[in-house]
Amino acid sequence: MNVSFVQEDRYTFRIPRKGKMRADAVFFASKRILAHLESENYASLVQLMNVATLPGIVEPALAMPDIHWGYGFPIGGVAAFDPEAGGVVSPGGVGFDINCGVRLLASGLERRDLEPRKAWLADRLYERVPAGVGSKRRDVKLNRRSLARVLEEGAGWVVRQGWGEADDLDHIESGGRLAGADPGRVSERAYERGLPQLGTLGSGNHFLEVQYVEQVYDPEVAAAFGLREDQVTVLIHTGSRGLGHQVCQDHVQKFLQVAPKYGIELVDRQLAAAPIESPEGRAYLGAMAAAANYAFANRQLITHYVREAFEAAGFAPRDHALRVVYDLAHNNAKFETHGGRRVLVHRKGATRAFGPGASDLPPAYAAVGQPVLVPGDMGRYSYVLVGTAGAMEKSFGSSCHGAGRVLSRARSKKQVKGRDLVRELAEAGIELRAVSRRTVAEEAPEAYKDVAEVVQVVEGAGLGRRVARLRPVIVVKG
């Protein structure tokens, strides 16, 4: 495909506005990432250019270095829209898994404490955190009324039931509750799908990982986050499950019907959009916030069961001392102020990366910036970064959300055929528990970019700074 861009500095590339684009597009990449983009015939950059055609976009449309081809918006896409300038909201800019995100827990344990009980803990986690399709929590009984409370109150509802600590809520993006949630905008089918799934992991790239801090790059910020070398940590990656998928489905269909009424020309139907200040736009934002709250509550409930699993594996609460470092969203749309304008920032496969002094940060992190959690793949490592002033200036306070795939699921399976990945990972010191062998093959480490490469670009472009690297020791996959 014909995509022309200019290199602005070592890691920043600009696609000047052309055709129906209303803004320039900017992406961050290294030479190697650029080669990946070329190998997929720049399909994800074309998607980024499509995003730039939407009304009311505030320049530029952005893509993080983990960009890859998605549907509608590219994965790694960030775009801000001004409600005062006819800006739109697009469910395709949030994705089907609304508020899919990650939560990092830090423990009081060291790697050597874990080693003798590693396999035992892996089994307890696998038992207590349901994963895969049809997975249900039989021990959490929700009815429609209590689910509506979850949609309104998010993680706070879970904590008030006794499944968590009040302090957990202070370390979640937006306190674990997105404002403006309107459970009345969530369809009956979405309720039906959400009722049995709260506290479940799902499948695909969702996971639960126990890790240890392998390296600290910035001792001062690491101390502010409560992280130190050899410390055991837990990363939880999941979202709003079927409830969020249904909210997205319902509203894409509605937006496709109303887009012509608002004069919105769609170059890709998955970019279906409506003005932020329209009845349809407000209805989606109310439903989206409700689904986001479900996702915050989901990660909170899983946190409770992770704590239980550690206790079942013989670690007393005062020893494991699991506490939330941070919980952030990969897929959402939020009202924020950037450059003095109140805008709706869509992040799809991207993470908020607010720098020091920004609003909406836990007091403990206000002086250093927010933790930015960047999962890698199950065989290598993940990173903790810190948000920077550079991100506030260049990317609407955003950063990458992970490594980004380089192999399709089919190619990944083909590539690992005949290999015993479970054994390979065990030999590398990683206990893997998975519902589906196919998911394991699809999620093989080589299916992803080396996350270190992505993080290098983020740091080089000034969108975040490395704080620590985490090495997996237990992986639970759906």
Partner 1 sequence: MTRLRMLEHTADVGFEVEADSLGGVFEAAAAALLRVLFEGELPRRGRRRERLALAAPDLETLMVRWLDELIYRVQTRGEVPVRTRVRLTAAPQGRRLEAELELLPFEEVRDRFAGEVKAATYHGLVVEEAEGRFRARVILDV
Binding segment for partner 1 (CB under 8 A), chosen from 8-16, 266-274, 363-371, 375-383, is: 266-274
Asked if 22 touches partner 1 (CB under 8 A), the answer is no
Which listed residue (146, 161, 187, 249) binds partner 1 by CB under 8 A? 249
Report which secondary-structure segment, H or E, holds 225.
helix 219-225
Please tell me whether 207 is known to bind a ligand. Answer: yes
Asked if 316 touches partner 1 (CB under 8 A), the answer is no
Sequence-separated (6 or more) residues with CB below 8 Å from residue 53: 19, 20, 21, 22, 265, 267
Asked if 411 touches partner 1 (CB under 8 A), the answer is yes
Distance of CA 416 to the CA centre of its chain: 26
Give which of 430, 400, 363 is closest to 214, Cα–Cα: 430
Binding segment for partner 1 (CB under 8 A), chosen from 3-11, 79-87, 165-173, 197-205, is: 197-205
Asked if 35 touches partner 1 (CB under 8 A), the answer is no
Binding segment for partner 1 (CB under 8 A), chosen from 66-74, 113-121, 165-173, 373-381, is: 66-74
Minimum gap (Å) between residue 151 Cβ and partner 1: 17
Asked if 85 touches partner 1 (CB under 8 A), the answer is no
Asked if 442 touches partner 1 (CB under 8 A), the answer is yes
Task: Supply the residues annotated as catalytic.
Answer: 401
Asked if 192 touches partner 1 (CB under 8 A), the answer is yes
Report which secondary-structure segment, H or E, holds 166.
helix 166-169
Sequence-separated (6 or more) residues with CB below 8 Å from residue 259: 266, 272, 273, 274
Q: Any bridge partners for residue 78, and if so which?
A: 62, 347
Please tell me whether 477 is known to bind a ligand. Answer: yes
- The torsion angles phi and psi of 304, rounded to 5 degrees, stand at -60, -45
Minimum gap (Å) between residue 352 Cβ and partner 1: 21
Q: Between residues 112 and 438, which has the closer beta carbon with respect to partner 1?
A: 438
Asked if 246 touches partner 1 (CB under 8 A), the answer is yes
Which listed residue (28, 42, 69, 284) binds partner 1 by CB under 8 A? 69
Q: Are 197 and 294 in contact (CB under 8 A)?
A: no
Sequence-separated (6 or more) residues with CB below 8 Å from residue 419: none
Which listed residue (1, 410, 418, 427) binds partner 1 by CB under 8 A? 410
Minimum gap (Å) between residue 320 Cβ and partner 1: 30
Q: Between residues 283 and 407, which has the closer beta carbon with respect to partner 1?
A: 407
Sequence-separated (6 or more) residues with CB below 8 Å from residue 303: 103, 105, 164, 168, 236, 322, 324
Q: Are 334 and 345 in contact (CB under 8 A)?
A: yes
Asked if 95 touches partner 1 (CB under 8 A), the answer is yes
Binding segment for partner 1 (CB under 8 A), chosen from 18-26, 106-114, 244-252, 378-386, is: 244-252
Q: Between residues 134 and 363, which has the closer beta carbon with respect to partner 1?
A: 134
Binding segment for partner 1 (CB under 8 A), chosen from 242-250, 354-362, 372-380, 382-390, is: 242-250
Q: Are 374 and 386 in contact (CB under 8 A)?
A: no
Minimum gap (Å) between residue 461 Cβ and partner 1: 22
Please tell me whether 240 is known to bind a ligand. Answer: no
Distance from C-alpha of 322 to C-alpha of 313, rounded to nearest angstrom:
14
Distance of CA 278 to the CA centre of its chain: 27
Q: Are strands 465-477 and 431-434 parallel, antiparallel or unpaired?
A: parallel
DSSP per residue, 107-128: EEEEHHHHGGGHHHHHHHHHHH
Angle between helices 118-128 and 279-312 (to 10 degrees): 140
Q: Between residues 270 and 456, which has the closer beta carbon with respect to partner 1?
A: 270
Asked if 242 touches partner 1 (CB under 8 A), the answer is yes
Binding site for partner 1 (CB under 8 A): 40, 44, 68-72, 75, 95-97, 132-134, 189, 192-193, 196, 202-204, 242, 245-246, 248-249, 252-253, 256-257, 268-270, 272, 405-411, 435-436, 438-439, 442, 478
